[in-house]
Structure 1
Amino acid sequence: SDMQVYFPIVSRQEWGAVTPKQKEALKRSASRVVVHHTAYPSCKDLAECKTCLVSIQRYHMKDRKFDDIGYNFLVAGDGTVFEGRGWGVVGAHTKDHNSDSLGIAFMGNFSNTPSKKAIVAVKQLLQSGVSAGFLQPGFALYGHRDLGNTECPGEKLYAALPQLRSAS
């Protein structure tokens, strides 16, 4: 995609995604970003992260009956960003809040602190989304728990959200 110019994102093809059952385009650029954690163990390298992504996608599609992996993007601890549903696509990440938002998941479980690299990567991703017109310049950023009854995105990641808000 033309996003590659700004910021390297590991494409669906590269991590071995299966084709979504269907996809729905967002009607306009997203006005909100919702941050999640996968609650899976974090992954150490590309091979491990790919395996993890394939199992998250399988879980979302088979067990949760989603059309695809629920998130628009996922980020590993080393700052690698993976394409989930990608830009401009309605996700399945936050019940009743998917029609105007982008879901970004940090890979791992955040009773531990998110890495600086992951925070920086997500800030760059959001900035590139604004530049490319997929995200409104004054977007609001939430943790999943702000919009639903959940622990997600974990205590320490939730505490780090102000660092991401400074990107908007």
Structure 2
Amino acid sequence: MPRLCILLLVPVGIWLFWQPDTLRLFLSRRPESIIIHHSASPPRVHGRPVDAAAIDAMHARRGFGIVHEGKVYHIGYHYVVLPDGTVQAGRPEECVGAHARHVNEHSLGICLVGNFHSAENPSGAQGPVRPTPAQMDALIELCARLCRTYRIPVERVCRHRDVGETACPGDRFPFETFQSHLRERVERGGRSIKDLLWQRGE
């Protein structure tokens, strides 16, 4: 008995769009800015380091949380930079952050561990009064990679205080110097994120 075959003609553009990888790329979030924060804390609290895991626990108590590929992330930042220059991943880049009200949807959040505000840490009792050289170099490298990946202009790399009513990341954060060095690093290229990440925060 002859079989009836039905041929469906689908335009190439539509076919490509509905392929899983293409659809995922189309639906993925594309950050338009980067927001810099500080943890407003000493590098260690109660004898334990303040890192991505510690911040995740703190943000869990505040009710932050998002599920991505079966895993729950409470940490509101996408990356954490420790005083020794270690870069730790927070919630995945494709997830909306919880770090800067009103701009979370279109931004990536990076937190430097430390308190760089002179009114709160005037004499260094809470650790370094400004980011360490290793911390700044790691931050610049990370931001340069993100700027290149998402085509974010250097001018859209901001402090939390630039988009909200806060002093974060503190008046001792060297913003002008940071912007100048970031612009140079973006133009000349640099390491990949896999080379930069020392710890995945998993």
TM-score (norm 2): 0.60
Query: Which residue identity is paired with 1:163?
Result: T
Do the aligned partners of 2:51 and 2:82 also contact (CA within 8 Å) in 1?
no
Runs of 4+, deviation exceeding 4 Å: none
**Aligned residue number for residue 65 of structure 1:** 63
Matches within 5 A, 1:1-168: 27-28=29-30, 30-43=31-44, 48-49=48-49, 52-62=51-61, 64-67=62-65, 68-111=74-117, 112-131=129-148, 133=149, 135-139=150-154, 140-157=156-173, 160-166=174-180, 167-168=182-183
**SS, match of residue 155 in structure 1:** coil
Q: CA RMSD in A?
A: 2.1
Cα distance in structure 1, aligned partners of 2:147 and 2:170: 26
TM-score (norm 1): 0.71
Where in structure 1 are there 5+ consecutive unaligned residues? 1-24
- Give the C-alpha shift of residue 54 in structure 1: 2.7
Where in structure 2 are there 5+ consecutive unaligned residues? 1-26, 66-73, 118-128, 184-202
- Give the C-alpha shift of residue 100 in structure 1: 1.1
**Aligned residue number for residue 20 of structure 2:** none
For these two proteins, the number of residue pairs brought into alignment is: 134
Cα distance in structure 2, aligned partners of 1:48 and 1:78: 15
Do the aligned partners of 2:77 and 2:90 also contact (CA within 8 Å) in 1?
yes
**SS, match of residue 153 in structure 2:** strand
Cα distance in structure 2, aligned partners of 1:137 and 1:53: 24
Cα distance in structure 2, aligned partners of 1:110 and 1:130: 24
Query: Which residue identity is paired with 2:170?
Result: G
Cα distance in structure 1, aligned partners of 2:136 and 2:40: 17
Cα distance in structure 2, aligned partners of 1:92 and 1:100: 11
Tell me which structure has the larger Cα radius of gyration.
2
Deviations 1:73-130 (A, max 9, x none): 0101111101011323211000010111111110011131111111110111122223
Do the aligned partners of 1:119 and 1:163 also contact (CA within 8 Å) in 2?
no
Cα distance in structure 2, aligned partners of 1:48 and 1:80: 16
Percent of aligned positions with the same letter in both sequences? 32
